[in-house]
Amino acid sequence: MESKRQQRINKLLYEDLSILFQRDFPHLGLGSMISVTKVVVTPDLSIAKVYLSLFPVKNKATVLEHIKKHTSEVRGKLGQRIRHQLRLVPELYFYIDDSLDYIENIENLLKET
């Protein structure tokens, strides 16, 4: 169960990272659109797991590796945006959110039967 503080930090990071990927780092997607779908912060607020949706991409792993190479840049810009709300900027770990692919696969299976 997340505390109220964790929920507020999750929302803050979600909004700011969404803006950063759309405005400041569109080139990190290598031609694809990057959407932040979820952010989960640990109870000590030191680590943030960021789930990304990439569209349209054939090789999501390549794009994710490119984003991971530029994590320090993203974290630096994030720190500039949230410097008045948080003392320390959490470490960012990026993951691919494949829930949309999973839903699409289930819909296709249901249509076949």
Q: At what angle do helices 4-23 and 71-82 cross, to 10 degrees?
A: 120
pLDDT above 90: residue 40: yes
Q: Which of 36, 37, 32, 25 is nearest to 70 (CA)?
A: 25
CATH number of the CATH domain containing 84? 3.30.300.20
| Cα distance between the two ends of the chain | 39
Q: What is the pLDDT of residue 92?
A: 98
Give mean pLDDT, residues 13-33.
92
Domain residues for 69? 4-112
- Rounded Cα gap, residues 10 and 42, in angstroms: 10
Q: What is the pLDDT of residue 5?
A: 94
Q: What is the pLDDT of residue 90?
A: 97
23: its two tokens: 């405005």
Task: Name the 3-class secondary structure at 96.
Answer: strand
Tell me the pTM. 0.87
The number of distinct structural domains making up the chain is 1
Q: Which tens digits make up the pLDDT trace of 62-98?
A: 999 999 999 999 999 999 999 999 999 999 999 999 8
